[in-house]
Amino acid sequence: MQDRGRRKVREGDVISDKMDKTVVVNVVSRKKHPVYEKIISVKKSYYVHDEENNCKVGDRVRIMETRPLSKTKRWRVTEIVRKAV
């Protein structure tokens, strides 16, 4: 069997769970500015598929890239790292 590449994995916080089987996850990554070389935080939101509606606002989740599930969803929840208090 041929290896077809690796799927991207990110970790972030759930900021919305209002939709059915979908959560919005905010991922913060740190990158170096190309000119000034200062470390900056880059925020990006992803629409993520949550099959059992387990995720709530404030949860820390690990997400994985997957095939397109809708117009905007290309990620799915693989595990809940930390539940919100």
In angstroms and rounded to an integer, the radius of gyration of the C-alpha atoms of the chain is 15
Which sequence spans correspond to the domains of the chain?
10-82
What is the distance between the alpha carbons of residues 5 and 69, in angstroms, rounded to a whole number? 20
Residue 5 banded pLDDT, cuts 50, 70, 90: confident
| Tens-place pLDDT, residues 44-85 | 999 999 999 999 999 999 999 999 999 999 999 999 999 998
CATH 3.40.470.10, domain 10-82, yes or no: no
Residue closest to 13 by CA, chosen among 73, 78, 83, 76:
83
